[in-house]
Structure 1
Amino acid sequence: MMIMIFLLCLLIFVTIIFFKKQKRGKKINTLPSPPGLPLIGNLHQLGHHPHRSLCSLSHRYGPLMLLHFGRVPLLYDKHDVASAPYGEYWRQMKSVCVLHLFSNKMVRSFREVREEEISVMMENIRKSNSLPVNLSKILVSLTNDVICRVALGRKYGGEVDFKELMERLSKLLGTFSVGSYIPWLAWVDWVSGLDGQLEKTANDLDKFFERVVQDHVNGNRDRTDFVDVLLSIQREKSVGFEINRVSIKAIVLDVFVGGTDTSYTLMEWAMTELLRHPKCLNILQEEVRTICKDRPSVSEDDIKDMNYLKAVIKETLRLHPPLPLMAPHESTQDVRLRDYHIPAGTQVLINAWAIGREAATWGPDAEEFRPERHLYSSVDYRGQAFELIPFGAGRRICPAISFAVALNEVVLANLVHRFDWRLPVESTEDQTDVAESTGIAIHRMLPLYAVASSTT
C-alpha cells in the first residue's frame, strides 16, 4: 500500500514539473500543443490511425501543432535515400536515383516488363470465369513481380519467398515499438519478441540482397536492371564519388519499401472507389474503350489522351495517399513560422491525408470521390501544388514518381478496358467508408473482392 502511495505521489510530482515546463516553454511562443502525459508525451493520442488522429487534433489546436514523441528506428544506418540526413551523402544518393534509376529513359526502358506482367495478370483474371477474384492479392503480385524484374532482374520465388519477406518487413515497419519512443522501456520490445523479429527480418533481407548483388557481380545479364546500374556506377566511379555495397543494398531496399506497397495500395483504392461509384467507372470505361477501340489491350502510348483516367488517379491520391503521413523531415536550424518558434532538430510530420480532405481548399464535397474536379484544374501531384502532395515536395520529393504513375495508369486502364467490374452480390462492402489497415502504407483492412466479366 505504501509503495502505491509513493508511486502516486511521484506521478503527481512529475506531472506538475512537466506542465510547468510546458508553460515556461510557451513564453518563447512555441507551437500550440495538446496536453500530454509525463514520459510518453502525446504518444497515447495517436491511436491506430495517426493520420486521422492528427487531423482531429488539428481541428482543435490548429494546422500547426507541437507533439512530444521520441525517436524512430531506421534501416541500414541511414544509408538509404529516404532516411539519410540532408547533406553531401544524401545529395549524392538522390542524384543517383534521379539521373540513373528513375530517369524518363530508364522508365521507358522497362515498358516491356510492365506489358508482360500486365498480360499475365489479365489472363489470370480471365480464368476466374466471372467468379469473385481477390483483386488486392492480384495487384500485390503484379507490383512485386514488376519491381523484382526492374530492380533485381528477375522474379524471385521458390528458394526465396521474397513476397513473404517483404510482407513481414511492411508489417514490422508499421508495428508500434515501445523502445523507439520511450527508450527506458526498450526492454518491453525484447520481452514481446519484437526485437527478435526485427533482427531476424533485417538479417534475412540483408542476406537476400547480398546474394542478389553477388549474383549480378558473377553473371552476365541480357537486361540491365537497377542493381546492374548501381554496380556500374561503383566500378566506374562515374558520379564522382564512391558508392559501397551497403549503399547499393540500401537503395534497392528503398525501391521495394517505397514502391511495392504504395503502388498496389493506390491501384487497390482506385478500384475500390470506382466500384463504389459505378457512374465514374462507366465514364472511365467509355473513355478507355473509345480511345482503344477494337484493340485487345491498352498501350502506354494511349494513356496521354485519357484525361478522365488521370483525373481518377489524382482523386484517388487526394483521398487515399498511400503514405498519409509523409516521411519525417527535420528542421536543420531555428525557424520562425507564423510567429512560432521551431527549434533546430524538431521532427516535422506532414499530414498529406488531411491536406487532401481540407474543405477550405477542395470545397464542401472534399470527402467525396469526384474525379471531375481535376479535369480543368492545374493542380498536379508532382510537388508544385501544396494542395496535393502524395509524393512529397521540395528536396525530399519521391524520385520515382514517373515510374509509379506509368505503372498505375496502364494497369488501371487495362483493367477497365478488358473487363466489366462489379462487387459480388453477397458483398457487405460499406458504400460510405472502408476500414483502413494500420501501418506506414494505408491500404484496405480487408482484401477487395470483385467480379470481372470479360467484354471479349
Structure 2
Amino acid sequence: MSLQLGQVPAIIISSSKAAETFLKTHDINFASRPKIKASELLSYGSKGVAFSEYSPYWRSVRKLCTLKLLSASKVEMLGPIRKEELNVLVKSLKKAALVGEVVNVSEVVENLIENIVYKTILGRSKHEKFDLKKLVQEATILVGAFNLADYVPWLGAFDIQGLTRSLKKTSKSLDEVLEVIIKEHEQISNVDKTHHEDFVDILLSVMNQAIDPENEQNDVIDRNNIKAILLDMIVAGVDTSANAIEWALSELLRHPRVMKNLQDEIQNEVGTERMVEEKDLKKLNYLDMVIDETLRLYPVAPLLVPRECRESITIDDYFIKEKTRVIVNAWAIGRDSNVWSENVEEFYPERFINKKINYQGQDFESIPFGSGRRRCPGIQLGLVSIKLVTAQLVHCFNWELPHNTNPSNLNMEEKFGLSIPRAQHLHAIPSYRLSSDVKDE
C-alpha cells in the first residue's frame, strides 16, 4: 500500500511476499534510514546503530557491535551474568511463594532484564545516582511518537505537538547520565588495568581511532558516537526481551494445556532436582515453539524502524522514487491468515511442529527482529535471554492468576508504540514446584 504522508511518499508492507521483495531481493536499495527529529536529537545526529543512514560508518559500527558484544561466542561468555541475575530473581520469588504473595510479574521481569543489560553493556547494575530506566522509557515513547515535523518539515519551527521540546529535555538528561557512566569507566581504567572489560570499555578503547581498518574512509568514533551507540544497545536490550517474556507468560497463563506441555518437556529433560541451564535450551523443542508463537503474535517491534529508498527503482511495474519511506508492519505479517490459517489469532505453538523460523532473514512469515542488512544485530542475545527466563520461571514455579480470575478472562490488551508491551501489568501468584533441597546457585 502506498500513501503520501505530508510531503513524504511512503509504502506500507503488510505481507510476507512484499517483505521478501523489499528486505531481501532489493535489500541494498532500501537499507538506509530516513532522518527524523527523534533520532537527530536523541542519537547525536543519528550516529548509533539503529538510525544511522546506510554508509561505511554504519557498517563499521555494526561490525564492531556484532563482534564485541553480539557474536555467538560473546553471548555464551555473558552466560554467568544471566545466571546470577536469574538466580537472584528465583530466590526472591520463592519467598513470595511461601506467603502466597501476588507478584507484579511485568515489573520483576523488566527489572531482571534491565540488570542483565546494564551489567552486559555497562559493567554494573542500576546506578544509585539516576533512574536510567525512566529516561530510556521516555526516549522510547518519543521515538515511537508520530511527529508531524518529520512529514511536513516546515511545521518543525512551530513545535505544535511539543515533541521537540520534550526530545531536547530527555536528550539533555540522557547525555548527563551517559557522560557520568563514561567518566566512571575512564577513571576505573586508569586505576585498575585488570578489571573486567565491558562494552563501554571496548568503545573507549577505540575512541578517536579507526573503527575498522578495512574501512577505506577511516571512520572514527568520538564521545558522542559512543553515547549514541550505548543508548541504542540499552534501549533495544531492555524493551524487547522483557516484553517478549511477559507476553509468553501471559499466553501460558491463558492456556493451561500449553503451560503443562512446556513444564512436562522441561521436567523430562532437566528433572526437579535442579534449575534450567543454558545448555538445556537446545534440547527444548516445545519451548522453541512457544517462543516462536509468542514472537509471531507480539513481534519485538510492531512496525519495524522505517527504511528509506536510496535510489529510484521500479518493482513489479511500480515506480518508487528516491527518499520514499518503507514501513514494514511486522505485527500484520505475523497475523496474515493467508499464511497462518484461520486460527491466526489463537496462541497455538503446535503450528511450528514442522516449521522452524529462521530469524536471520530466510523466513518472512514472521519477522519480529526485522530482516536483511538492517535486522536487529542482537537476535542471538535476545533469544537466549527470552528462552532462558521463560523456561526458568515455568520450571521453578506454578503460576495462578489472583482473585480466582478465569485464565480466559486475562486482559491481553496491547499498548502500541515503538515496542508492544502489555497495556496492563501482569500479576500472578507463584508456588515453588522443584524439590525442596534444590539450592539457589
Task: Give TM-score, length-normalised by structure 1.
Answer: 0.82
Select which of 150, 155, 166 maps to 1:180: 150
2:71 counterpart residue number: 103
Alpha-carbon contact 1:32-1:64 (below 8 Å) kept: no
Correspondence 1:203 to 2:167: no
Is it true that 1:72 corresponds to 2:40 in the alignment?
no
How is 1:7-22 mapped onto 2 (pairs within 5 angstroms)?
Answer: none
Report whether the alignment pairs 1:385 with 2:363: yes
Alpha-carbon distance in structure 2 between the residues aligned to 1:90 and 1:361: 34
Matches within 5 A, 1:143-158: 143-158=113-128
Which residue of the other structure, out of 244, 267, 272, is the alignment partner of 2:250? 272
Is the counterpart of residue 228 in structure 1 residue 225 in structure 2?
no
**Matched residues in 1 for 2:139 and 2:345: separation?**
32
For residues 388 and 339 of structure 2, what CA distance do their matches in structure 1 show?
Answer: 29
Aligned mates of 2:352, 2:344 — CA distance in 1: 12
Q: Which residue of structure 1 aligns with residue 87 of structure 2?
A: 119
Greater CA radius of gyration, 1 or 2?
Answer: 1
Superposed CA offset, 1:251-287 (max 9, x none): 1111111111111010011011111111001000011
Contact kept in structure 1, 2:309 and 2:323, CA below 8 Å: yes
Take 1:222 and 1:298, find their aligned partners in 2: how far apart are those partners?
Answer: 30
Change over 3 Å in CA distance of 1:181–1:236 after alignment to 2: closer
Is 1:170 the counterpart of 2:140? The answer is yes
Query: AA paired with 2:187?
Result: N
For residue 163 of structure 2, the aligned residue among 183, 194, 197 is: 194
Take 1:400 and 1:245, find their aligned partners in 2: how far apart are those partners?
23
CA distance in 2, matches of 1:318, 1:419: 25
The residue aligned with 2:111 is 141
Specify the alignment match of 1:28 in structure 2.
none
Contact map agreement 1:147 1:260 (CA 8 A) in 2 = yes
Match of 1:421 among 399, 404, 422: 399
Q: Cα distance, 1:333 vs. partner?
A: 1.3
Higher-RCO chain (CA-CA 8 Å, sequence separation at least 6) = 2
- 1: distance between equivalents of 2:70 and 2:2? 40
Pick from 205, 214, 217: which aligns with 2:186?
217
Residues 52 and 58 of structure 2 are in contact (CA less than 8 Å); yes or no, is this contact kept in structure 1?
yes
Is structure 2 residue 264 aligned with structure 1 residue 291?
Answer: no
Structure 1: stretches of 5+ with no match in the other structure? 1-30, 44-50
1-side partners of 2:430 and 2:143: how far apart? 34
Once residues 113 and 120 of structure 1 are traced to their aligned partners in structure 2, the CA distance between those partners, rounded to angstroms, is 11
Helix, strand or coil at the partner of 2:399: strand
CA–CA distance in structure 2, aligned partners of residues 231 and 349 of structure 1: 34
Which residue pairs with 1:47 in the alignment? none
Q: Equivalent of 1:305, from 264, 283, 286?
A: 283
Distance verdict in 2 for CA 1:188–1:125, change over 3 Å: farther
**How far off its partner does 1:438 sit?**
3.0
What amino acid maps onto 2:88 in structure 1?
V
Q: Compared with structure 1, are the counterparts of its residues 383 and 295 closer, same or farther at alpha carbon in structure 2 (3 Å cutoff)?
A: farther
- What SS is found at the alignment partner of 2:146? coil
Secondary structure, aligned partner of 2:258: helix
Distance in 2 separating the partners of 1:294 and 1:236: 52
Cα pair distance change 1:194/1:393, threshold 3 Å: closer
Distance 1:214 1:201 in 2: 20
Cα deviation, 1:349-376, whole Å, max 9, x if unaligned, reads 1111111111111112122111111122
**Which secondary structure does the structure 1 equivalent of 2:319 belong to?**
strand
Equivalent pairs counted in the alignment come to 405
Give the Cα–Cα distance (whole angstroms) in 1 for the partners of residues 202 and 187 of structure 2: 15
Task: Quote the RMSD (CA, aligned, Å).
Answer: 2.8
Shift, 1:86, TM fit: 0.9
Shift in alpha-carbon separation, 1:238–1:83, aligned structure 2, 3 A: closer
Give the C-alpha shift of residue 187 in structure 1.
Answer: 5.4
Q: Which runs of 5+ in 2 are unaligned?
A: 23-33, 435-441
Kept in 2: contact 1:383–1:391 (CA 8 A): no
Deviation at 1:428, TM superposition (A): 7.4
**AA at the equivalent of 2:201:** D
Compared CA separation, residues 434 and 41, structure 1 to 2 (3 A)? farther
Residue 24 (structure 1) aligns with: none
What is the distance in 2 between the residues matched to 1:237 and 1:343?
35
Is contact 2:60–2:211 with CA below 8 Å preserved after alignment?
no
Indicate the SS of the match to 1:256.
helix
- The amino acid that maps onto 2:144 is G
Counterpart CA distance in 1 for 2:2 and 2:184 is 54
**Stretch deviating more after TM superposition (334-343 or 166-175):** 166-175
2:313 aligns with one of 309, 322, 335: 335
Change (3 A) 1:105 1:235: farther
What is the CA–CA distance in structure 1 between the aligned matches of 2:35 and 2:181, rounded to whole Å? 32
Distance (Å, rounded) in 2 between the aligned partners of 1:184 and 1:234: 37
Q: How many Å separate the matches in 2 of 1:250 and 1:235? A: 15
Whether contact under 8 Å (1:323, 1:390) holds in the other structure is: yes
Q: Distance in 2 between matches of 1:133 and 1:212?
A: 32
CA distance in 1, matches of 2:21, 2:72: 37
Residue in structure 1 matched with residue 100 of structure 2 by the alignment? 130
Contact in 2 for aligned 1:315/1:369 (Cα 8 Å): yes
8 A Cα contact 1:178 1:188, kept in partner: no
Aligned match of 2:350: 372
| SS of the residue 1:186 aligns to | helix
Q: Deviations over 1:388-425 (max 9, x none)?
A: 21111111111111111111111011001100012223
Measure, in 1, the Cα distance between the counterparts of 2:120 and 2:128: 19
